[in-house]
Amino acid sequence: QPPTHALVRHPGPNAAEGLTDVHEPADPEAIAAEHAASVTALRDAGLEVIELPADPDRPDGYFVEDVAVCLGPELVVLTNPGAPERRGEVDAVAEALPHPTKLRLTDVGGPDATLDGGDVLIAADRVLVGLSRRTNIAGARALAGILARHHPAWPVSIIRIQGVLHLKTGLTEVTPGTVLRAAAMRPPADVFALAGLDEVLVDDVNHANVVPLGEVTLVPEGARAAARIAGRRTRVIEVPLTHIGRMDGGLTCLSLRW
Ligand code: CIR
């Protein structure tokens, strides 16, 4: 089921002060403009969008995808982000989500379980959970346990990822059964994780992160392979992401969708 709703949080004046491995400086006003373009694109795609105000104390707060995993309109899993400086982002998003059932990852996996939503790819026929610098085994297992209970038909693979921040930085599903993988992200050692999927390799590490929304696909501006493949089946909206990319963010990170 394509999503009908999304939640976003505005970037604040401190939006360029969050965590990043990229050495080029980002401009907070440019971040705000790119973020606004992403919200317009979500609305243009027909989604109803909840907008939260910026949090002046949390520069990475607009990367809402990392603090929750929406499993449809009924159930959401509130995460325990791997970066301690991001843990304070969870509660405001949790309160704003209308889902009737809200589970805490740490209630299932214990206080040491960490997981960023950016490490969870829900594809057409499977769920991939990345073990990254942010998501540990206890966190991945806790999410897999929740999925086994609430969505027993979804096969789950836990895969170690290297070369990118989050699983979805380097791997997203562009159309059902076709994934884009950034060459910078090494292929998963678990050979079954991507079995049966068509994989398209992209050279630019910022061009593998797309948001499929049923009849519309959001892709980063200039991501030609993504636009071409998505364009065969859906309308494509390109979103500029230069400055958000410098904060290690992609399109998926900017919203929660259900
Ligand atoms: C961070 O390092 O946590 C943020 N600056 C970027 C988070 C990007 N989120 C994502 O890929 N899901």
Q: Render pLDDT for 133-180 as a digit per residue (tens, 0 to 9).
A: 999 999 999 999 999 999 999 999 999 999 999 999 999 999 999 999
CA 252–ligand 1 middle distance (angstroms): 10
| C-beta contacts of 82-87 below 8 A and 24+ residues apart | 82/114, 82/115, 82/116, 82/132, 82/133, 82/134, 82/135, 82/136, 82/139, 83/19, 83/116, 83/134, 85/19, 85/60, 86/19, 86/58, 86/60
Query: Over 80: is that where the pLDDT of 77 sits?
Result: yes
Q: Is the confidence at residue 124, as pLDDT, over 90? A: no
Helix (H, G, I), strand (E, B) or coil at 148: helix
**Mean pLDDT for the stretch of residues 99-128:** 97
Q: What is the pLDDT of residue 190?
A: 84
Give the residue, out of 86, 122, 133, 165, with the most ligand 1 atoms within 8 A of its beta carbon, to mutate for a pocket test.
165
Q: Could you tell me what percent of the chain has a pLDDT over 70?
A: 100
**Phi–psi pair at 23, nearest 5 degrees:** -95, -10
Predicted local confidence at residue 99, as pLDDT:
98
Q: Is the pLDDT of residue 258 over 80?
A: yes
Pocket test for ligand 1, best of 8, 66, 90 (most atoms within 8 A of CB): 66
The pLDDT mean for the chain works out to: 97
| pLDDT grade for 191, boundaries at 50, 70 and 90 | confident
